[in-house]
């Protein structure tokens, strides 16, 4: 059984296939691709000095300075954030320093155990 690619709802359309191949054919035939490859390789080998990795090496000083500045800024932001959180925690502790203490005393009607339990369970 031979598998034939289908194009369109009714199967293969030879006229459409020929039209698409004509539209997408390389200009100048197959020699176009070979010539294009030769031109690209000649350009790449001739311009080794202008390659992208060499451009990056020219920027290395500026990139190093920008990276160092970014690290310093990140450290300052982290330090400020940590200081702000510590200050907020300290203020919260200071504001709640006076804890309500329930003074319990034994009365005639209550046993010592009940007073202690109420003290522990109280606000």
Q: What is the pLDDT of residues 63-84, one digit of tens each?
A: 899 999 999 999 999 988 888 8
For every residue of 66-104, DSSP letters joined together read: HHHHHHHHHHHHHHHHHHHHHHHHHHHHHHT-S------
- Is residue 33, in this structure, part of any structural domain at all? no
- Is residue 44, in this structure, part of any structural domain at all? no
**pLDDT value at 18 more than 60:** yes
Measured over the CA atoms of residue 110, residue 114, residue 116 and residue 121, the dihedral's sign is negative
Cβ(14)–Cβ(5) below 8 Å: no
> Domain residues for 76?
60-97
Number of H helices, E strands in the chain: 5, 0
- CA angle 57/44/38 to nearest 5° reads 170
Span 57-62, average pLDDT: 83
Between 101 and 44, where is the model more confident? 44
pLDDT for residue 76:
93
pLDDT for residue 67:
93
pLDDT for residue 61:
86
**pLDDT value at 86 more than 80:** yes
Does the pTM of the predicted model rise above 0.75? no
What total of structural domains would you count in the chain? 1
């Amino acid at each position: 059984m031979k598998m034939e690619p289908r194009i369109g709802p009714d199967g293969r359309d030879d006229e459409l296939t020929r039209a698409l191949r004509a539209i997408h054919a390389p200009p100048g035939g197959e020699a176009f691709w070979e010539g294009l490859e030769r031109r690209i390789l000649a350009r790449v080998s001739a311009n080794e000095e202008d390659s992208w990795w060499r451009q990056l090496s020219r920027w290395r000083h500026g990139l190093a300075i920008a990276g160092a500045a970014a690290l310093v800024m990140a450290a300052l932001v982290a330090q400020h954030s940590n200081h702000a959180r510590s200050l907020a925690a300290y203020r919260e502790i200071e504001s709640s320093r006076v804890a309500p203490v329930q003074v319990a005393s034994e009365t005639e009607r209550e046993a010592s155990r009940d007073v202690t339990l109420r003290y522990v369970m109280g606000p």
